[in-house]
Structure 1
């Protein structure tokens, strides 16, 4: 469990068990969905918010919660790929989102530990110095207040870096829960445990769940990965995971936000708590389902942290997943050229706090019929820029390779492996692919080992304690419940007879 989830109470909302109507239905209650629903309700729209699990608990509940325009070394790439005009839209959108969040916190006196800080993107080697210089120049051309630095106020190897002042970090759950209060105050309706399984477009659109229906003039699909028109996005969005630790430190914790742009990326930031300031450290992003021994990756992050900070105790460990688009710019807008009143939000690529707010601002304008200059940059139906096309063959080859590996049958097996408590493995038992897990008290659990969406063979992720699909990024709990990715159906539970060799 993440610190953000553990340190906040979970509000209770009913499951949708009847038919209802609304001006707008927003599907997915993370920062993008909640922001969009709240902003629309504040403009007088009748909005219903549908969440398959519990609000603000999934992706946004497992973020690093950095609110910043500093998205690594991004701006030189954007100018080279999209041109200066559209790169400026990216900078403007994220800067506007940062200030929108700060304004809401200030005006409503939201207690979410929203703290201004500098953000550093640094490289450990002078070989990357020219890259940093180009990045600073690009950011300044786009109107961002970026500074070139040769050292950072943290115990890390930094040969050069970019500094952005007046950025922020915060408690994402407390912020979203305040937005939900504002949403309900404006008449918004929230339904938990309400997974949308089907949508029939028309006038109005009809959304079906296991136990209810919604009719709405406009629909926003903010489900991290779209449940509707999924095939349009399966080859254009790449799922990736990373691992996050928090710990107490004997001494001072750095006050700012840090992101290393080296070959092995890490980021870290402070977390103010009632018992003092904790340190959050994140790293080792890899394609979902391909991390190998992910427990080893977590140990490497622990080693990074303990070698640089006097860690007293690691307090929380969790994993996070996000999707990246081929050209590194999120998709925010109409879900297809033929669906003017169905909108999608996906592909934040690790920078969801500002982009979730960008989505709320942009989609509110689109639903209201207002022009917004950000639309042409974030258009999900855009043609990828020529300069980004060179990434497509490699990315496509990697996806096809993973898809082929995922469909490769396992070797025949006749017995259950002797797993240690807390461990899992996907095996072939008597001709059936099973995901086997042994609980800490020694009990055995078994689920189908095949993804319910793509049919690929799942991988056990020890760090995330999940069954992960290497083909599409679907993730399932130990007991087989889907909690991320495009899959709609849970894994079937299986009986297993423990017969060891």
Structure 2
């Protein structure tokens, strides 16, 4: 396993290199595939829905742009809990008790669904029951903790207010949810994938990016490698790559960062933890060789809005060393999720006019349970089974566009649309790009996103995101071009890393003589 903290591969993926064994969708082999349901995206929501549908007798095809469970589900902290930091007091205020109770029930049911499936099928995924805590270190955050504990108890959740936790530092107070869980997400999802593919009537395709979906009788799911036909299609790609439904305008992309450090078992805190306030930290452990691996996350920000991403990792590493006495950082990676403006996922029809296209998105950083619940809702919808959470999660529900979050997000999008185009006017030569650096420049009137690698070679691409035309920004820690408008991400060579875009950035040919920086 990788021990280089400069690597940005997650532990979940690094420790499961052997589970990604499914074929591409090759035209001459699979082009005539017709199944009941196509699921686009092999993460928590997609594989949960596919598993349920396959067990109910439907034929399914899961189509994934990369490898199974290697997207957001492979970069999560993997807490399986209905404790979502501080949400229930706010849901009671904004949505009322009935809807808040449904949200609580959906996520608590998701915890038990995962637990029962692990037990029934003996899934080897480091599953363990844990107490989950949201903690406040200072007294000025204590009232929000008390309010959350009271709200959660009102909604029937296993919540209590406590003043002590297993953390190695004092707290002012915490809300604790008993009998929650944690696991290795990719091992769990790999088991679901194997169970689906065990029936030869079902298919799982990796490295097959869907480019378009045409609704019809049947629907056509088009990739560069071939086309699949299905009666119904579920789009579970974190954010739908299809712009119908305007889900990119009803949510915003948020990146967060995780570091992982080996720690002796007797020093590892028992439980799952998340702080409050700005600069909060998310904490858990997982088995690692003969020790534990301490995972610390945080430093979240809107995707593409911050170029100083390296400093965010450094702050997490300093926290791990000062609070837990760790020495070596084994892993560091980041994740991305979409936050809905009312903090409730969108699950259901893609638009009011579509009859066979469905979507699940907006899990708001709690995708292990919200994604599971979404998968169950989608499966029930296809099977014609009434689901108690379908109306709450309804993708077509009236959405509170005019909120502080939505106004701020749309204002920032407009600022980036104009302001980021001006950044390129400040630089006019590849010589201004240092080794390991990415920069927006203008060459002969053409705007470019230029990166100089460690050998001195310049890689230049169009800075215009292929989704809706925003200008990408440089992510220094991960050597990627990130779109600040709707969360699209591209490699330094312009290849799509994260949707909603499906097309790569246009490559600008650079003369091989452009290999020397003046710095």
Specify the SS of the correspondent of 1:471.
coil
Residue 220 of structure 1 is matched in structure 2 by 234
Cα deviation, 1:91-136, whole Å, max 9, x if unaligned, reads: 1011111111011111111110011111110122211222111111
Query: How much does 1:494 deviate?
Result: 2.3
Q: CA RMSD in A?
A: 1.8
Cα deviation, 1:243-273, whole Å, max 9, x if unaligned, reads: 1100113551112111001221210100112
Residue of structure 2 aligned with 1:362, choices 341, 366, 377: 377
Asked if residue 181 in structure 1 is aligned to residue 190 in structure 2, the reply is no
Distance of aligned partners of 1:45 and 1:468 in 2 relative to their CA distance in 1, 3 Å threshold:
same
Asked if residue 439 in structure 1 is aligned to residue 477 in structure 2, the reply is no
In structure 2, distance between residues paired with 1:197 and 1:278: 38
Specify the SS of the correspondent of 1:410.
helix
Asked if residue 50 in structure 1 is aligned to residue 63 in structure 2, the reply is yes
Residue 309 of structure 1 is matched in structure 2 by 324
Cα deviation, 1:441-488, whole Å, max 9, x if unaligned, reads: 443322222211122221111122211011111001122110212111
Query: Normalising to structure 1: TM-score of the pair?
Result: 0.96
In structure 2, distance between residues paired with 1:175 and 1:240: 25
In structure 2, distance between residues paired with 1:417 and 1:451: 24
Unmatched runs of 5 consecutive residues or more in structure 1? none
Distance of aligned partners of 1:425 and 1:275 in 2 relative to their CA distance in 1, 3 Å threshold:
farther
Specify the SS of the correspondent of 1:299.
helix
In structure 1, distance between residues paired with 2:287 and 2:176: 22
Residue 14 of structure 2 is matched in structure 1 by 6
Cα deviation, 1:352-390, whole Å, max 9, x if unaligned, reads: 01111111211111001111110111001111369x845
In structure 2, distance between residues paired with 1:164 and 1:261: 16
Q: How do residues 217-366 of structure 1 correspond to structure 2 at under 5 angstroms?
A: 217-230=231-244, 232-249=246-263, 252-366=267-381
Specify the SS of the correspondent of 1:348.
coil
Residue of structure 2 aligned with 1:465, choices 469, 479, 482: 479
User: Is the 2:239–2:248 Cα contact (8 Å) retained in structure 1?
Assistant: no
How many residue pairs are counted as aligned between the two chains?
500
Deviates more, 1:13-22 or 1:66-75: 13-22
User: Is the 1:47–1:188 Cα contact (8 Å) retained in structure 2?
Assistant: yes
User: Is the 1:412–1:430 Cα contact (8 Å) retained in structure 2?
Assistant: no
Cα deviation, 1:179-220, whole Å, max 9, x if unaligned, reads: 011111234201112111112212221221113112211110
Residue 493 of structure 1 is matched in structure 2 by 507
Q: How do residues 95-114 of structure 1 correspond to structure 2 at under 5 angstroms?
A: 95-114=108-127
Query: How much does 1:222 deviate?
Result: 0.5
Asked if residue 19 in structure 1 is aligned to residue 32 in structure 2, the reply is yes
User: Is the 1:406–1:470 Cα contact (8 Å) retained in structure 2?
Assistant: no
In structure 2, distance between residues paired with 1:229 and 1:292: 27
Distance of aligned partners of 1:118 and 1:373 in 2 relative to their CA distance in 1, 3 Å threshold:
same
Residue 105 of structure 2 is matched in structure 1 by 92
In structure 2, distance between residues paired with 1:55 and 1:432: 38
Query: How much does 1:434 deviate?
Result: 2.3
Query: Normalising to structure 2: TM-score of the pair?
Result: 0.92
Unmatched runs of 5 consecutive residues or more in structure 2? 1-8
Deviates more, 1:178-187 or 1:92-101: 178-187
